[in-house]
Copies of this chain bind each other. A is one copy, B any other.
Amino acid sequence: MERKSSSTLHDVAREANVSIATVSHVINNSRVVKASTRARVEEAIQSTGYRHNMVARELKMGSSGLIGVLIVDYNPFYTDVLRGIEKRLETMGYKFVVASTGEQWERQRELIHLMVARRMQGILIAPVAGFDAEYVTRYVPEQCPVILFDRHVDGLPSVTSETRNATRQLVEHLAHHGNRHVGMILSTDAISTMRDRQSGMEEACGELGLKLSIERTTPDDRGGYEATLRLFNRFAREDQPDVVFAANNVMLLGVLRCMKESGFSVGKDRSVVGFDDQIWCEVFEPPITVLNQNAYGMGEAAVDLLKVALEGEAVTSKRLPVHLTIRRSCGCPMN
C-alpha cells in the first residue's frame, strides 16, 4: 500500500464516485448526506488513507484556531503558567503553540514574526529585557491581540503579580522576629518583576525602619550563591544582613547552598526567604518561607484577557495578589 503524498478530497471523491463537496461535507458534518453515500465516502476515506489537511483549511477559512505563547524559559514558574493557559484555552476550543525565547529580545522578535506569519489568533508573551512595545504594537495586526504576562511593559495589557502588599506583610513579619537588616538578591532591573520586587521592598523597609542592602546577579543558582557571599563580605560580621531574600526560586537554591557552606543555620543564624513556591520548599529543613505568586492563575487570567480582546472589547491590565507563605526559614519558631 504505497502512498507518496497524503491523498486529497479529490482522491476520496473519485474513489467514492461523489463530488469533493460531498466529501467535504461528510468530513465536517456541514450538511445532510444520504446514509449510503456517507458510508461510501467514509469507506473511501479509509481505503485512500485520507488525512484532513488543516493548513489548506486554514488558508481557506482565514483562521487557525491557534494561540501563540512565548515564555522566557521552561522553568517551574512558566510551566505552571502554561498549565493555566492550557486549561483555560481548552474550554475555549483553542490549541496553543509554545516557544521559549531566553532573555533575548532578538529571538523574541523573530518568534513574534513567526507567530503572525503563521496567522495565530492571539499571542501571549512574557516580555524579555529590551522588549519594544511600540514595535510590537505596530508589527502585530489588530486582529491578533497581544497580552503580556509575568512582566508589564507600558503600552500593552498585561497580567502580573502585585508584590507590594505581600512584601509589606513579609517585612512586618520579619521585623516582628527582630530582624534589622535585609539583604536582597535581584537580577537585572530591565525586567519589571525585579523592579517591582525592589521598590516594594524599599518601601516596606523604609516605613518599618529596616536596613536594606541590594545585590544584583545572574538569575541562576550560581548567581544566588555568589551574591550571598558578596552580601556578607560587604559588612563586618555584626553588621551583616540577618535575612537574605532571593527574588526568584533558582537564585534561592544558591543562597541556601551558600548558607550551608558558610556554616550558617538557616532560620537560626540567618533567615532566608524566597520568591515562588516549589514543592521542595516545604520539604526542606527548615521549610522555606516564600512570597508565592499564583502562576496557574496568571495563565488563566492571561487567557481571560485575550478572550476579551478577541471579542473586540477593551482590555485592562490585571494584577494578581501574591501570597505570603510563612514557614520556618524566616526564623519562625514553629508552624
Contact = CB atoms under 8 A, between A and B. Distances in A.
Interface of A: 3-6, 49, 51-56, 58-59, 62, 64, 74-76, 79, 82-83, 86, 95, 97-100, 114, 116-119, 141-143, 221, 250, 253, 256-257, 260, 278-280, 282-285
A282 to B, nearest CB: 7
A59 B62 contact: no
Contacts of A86: 100
15 contacts: A3-B142, A51-B116, A51-B117, A51-B141, A53-B59, A53-B119, A54-B114, A54-B119, A55-B55, A55-B58, A55-B59, A55-B118, A56-B59, A257-B282, A260-B285
A62 B8 CA distance: 12
Contacts of A58: 55
A143 B221 contact: no
Nearest to A117: B54
Contact of A74 (B6, B51, B82, B119): B82
Q: Taking the full assembly, how many copies of this chain does it contain?
A: 2
Contacts of A6: 141, 143
B253 A279 contact: yes
Contacts of A82: 74
Contact of A250 (B74, B116, B260, B279): B279
A119 B8 CA distance: 13
Given A253-B280, A257-B283, A280-B253, A49 B141 contact: yes
Contacts of A95: 99, 114
Contacts of A79: 74-75, 79
B59 A283 contact: no
A75 to B, nearest CB: 8
A3 to B, nearest CB: 7
A51 B140 CA distance: 9
Contacts of A99: 95
A283 B100 contact: no
A260 B51 CA distance: 55
